[in-house]
Amino acid sequence: MSTPETSSAATVGTNPDLTPPSDRQILSPDHDAETLTNKVSSIVFGRTPLWMYGVFALSFSLVGLLLISVVYLVVKGTGIWGLNIPVAWGFAIINLVWWIGIGHAGTLISAILLLLNQDWRNSINRFAEAMTLFAVACAVMFPLLHTGRPWIAAYWLLPYPNTMWLWPNFRSPLMWDVFAISTYGTVSLLFWYVGLVPDLGTLRDRAKNIHLKRLFHSLAMGWRGSAKHWHNYEMAYLLLAGLSTPLVLSVHSVISFDFSVAQLPGWHATIFPPYFVAGAVFAGFAMVMLVMIPVRFAFGLHDMLTSRHLQNMAKVTLVTGFIVCYGYLAEFIFAYYSGNPYERYAIAENRPFGPYNWAWMMLIFCNFLAIQPLWFKKVRQSPVALWVISFIISIGMWLERFVIVVMSLHRDFLPSSWDRYAGTIWDWGLYLGTIGFFFSLMFLFIRFVPMIPMSELKILLPEARVKGDGHH
């Protein structure tokens, strides 16, 4: 079966010939190689739908807010933020952890699910990988800006031989962060780009506009789709997957060390590394669903992003959510078991009954109670319900970092040094600005790059499975 090439993105998805995929399928059974290519590339080559101008304008106006917040910060210094002593780490570190966490779903989907032969990942991996890149871009802004003079941050952060024989402190996890995050960003970018190469080749062949053709031509790096090319490509892809797998664990573990190596009650807990990693994947999957569900609806991609995709993502969210809740439980148990009165106060008194207990209660609601409906298949099958739950989780994971950072710092050991903390308008401006930055990049990605990997989806077609398992 073949369909005439669609010229407008607005008409995509209204193809009446396609049988809707069943609950267990990851691709509509009527698709063949040509219809897949037509449908995905028509989003890139078609006209920009009107609604996209609207949402892009909205998110880009937030980028304006970001620019204003950054300029004012650079002019005035970090004093414009709500930081004080004892709460010397506020929104900046909360947002760093939040954004880095969001990126983790991309790495998990692209690397670990590939190694585990989970073929449903093939339609969502590129989308999630792009999210990883943009989330990392948002995340790194915060520590750099927190230095106050980001233009000389490299001078403080990177170890290089200098005449004053000054080195960064290698025993500090903040130093490890520099390496962990930069490695993570680099490998994620490579992985995303290598995966894109065959599809860029397809776009080059299909582009009619000469400038676009030239652009895709250089990006595709001479891809011809020969057997040798495919062989090298698959090898490179697998190697990068292997390289990315430890990164899923290491990046957020190192981030968790920022807190846990300190002696502060509420921070110093050995459960932190796996608890942070699970939280990152939890938040990441929530964000993938949060963005993907409306995009799936807007472009009519129900035949490629099927109910099975949403259900599987919901299950991963539920599992990682429970690991996060286990972390909350372990913090309580060990606060008591430690016998340490400061630890007991921080976890069991200040959190549920202290001045910020609203944040703690909302956290329990968002990350524990709100995910319970995911036990039911009906909920996992409903995109609207999943979207609402994902939204709640995204708020919950931000609150989790607020609880860990602010609630531990603001009341440490001596009551005489306790203080309160609140973000100022500039803290919020920077945070909302990065959200706008993230969505602006997401919309550009959706518009200009095939967001669903055509080459990898074709592996799932029945004709690709002639030799047993396809490419696995």
Question: Of 164 and 466, which CB lies nearer to another protein in the complex structure?
Answer: 466
| Residue 193 binding another protein, by CB under 8 A | no
Q: How far apart are CA 288 and CA 390, in angstroms?
A: 9
Cβ contacts of residue 34 below 8 Å, gap of 6+?
A: 2, 3
Nearer to another protein, 338 or 381 (CB): 338
Nearest to another protein of 337, 448 (CB atom): 337
Min dist CB 102 to another protein, Å, is: 22
Dihedral of CA atoms 213, 216, 219, 223 in degrees, nearest 10, equals -90
- Residue 261 is a binding residue for another protein (CB under 8 A): yes
CB-CB contact of 449 with 196 (8 Å): yes
Q: How many residues does the chain have?
A: 472
Instruction: Verify binding: residue 235, another protein, rule CB under 8 A.
Output: no
Nearer to another protein among residue 254 and residue 457 (C-beta): 254
d(CA 152, CA 165): 18
Given the rule CB under 8 A, which of 31-39, 55-63, 72-80, 256-264 is the region that contacts another protein?
A: 256-264
Name the residue nearer to another protein (CB basis): 331 or 400.
331
- Binding to another protein by residue 350, rule CB under 8 A? no
Decide whether 48 or 340 has the Cβ nearer to another protein: 340
Of residues 4, 16, 339, 415, which one binds another protein by CB under 8 A? 339
Q: What's the burial of 4, exposed, middle or buried (CB within 10 Å: 0-12/13-18/19+)?
A: exposed
Out of 82, 90, 101, 273, point to the residue binding another protein (CB under 8 A): 273
Exposure string of 21-58, with b = 16+ CB inside 10 Å and e = fewer, is beeebbbbeebeeebbbbbbbbbbbbeebeeeeebbee
Give the binding-site size for another protein (rule: CB under 8 A): 29
Of 9-17, 292-300, 322-330, 429-437, the segment contacting another protein by CB under 8 A is 322-330
Site for another protein contains 171 (CB under 8 A): yes
Does 239 bind another protein (CB under 8 A)? Our answer is: no
Q: How far is the CB of 274 from another protein (least distance, A)?
A: 6
Tell me if 336 contacts another protein by CB under 8 A.
yes
With beta carbons less than 8 A apart as the criterion, state whether 168 and 195 touch.
no
* Contact criterion met (CB below 8 Å) for 133 and 449: no
Chain CA centroid to CA 177, Å:
17
The only residue of 230, 326, 365, 391 in contact with another protein, by rule CB under 8 A: 326
In terms of CB distance, is 336 or 448 closer to another protein? 336
From residue 416, give the alpha-carbon distance in Å to each of 86, 353, 400, 405, 413: 11, 19, 26, 19, 9
CB of residue 108 to another protein, shortest distance in Å? 14
In the bound state with another protein, the residue whose beta carbon lies nearer, of 16 and 339, is 339
8-state DSSP, 368: I
State both tokens at 370.
């709100």
Which residues within the stretch 104-123 sit at the binding site for another protein (CB under 8 A)? none
Q: Which of 113, 117, 95 is nearest to 105 (CA)?
A: 113
61 touches another protein by CB under 8 A: no
Binding site for another protein (CB under 8 A): 171, 249, 253, 257, 260-263, 268-274, 322, 326, 329-331, 333-334, 336-341, 344
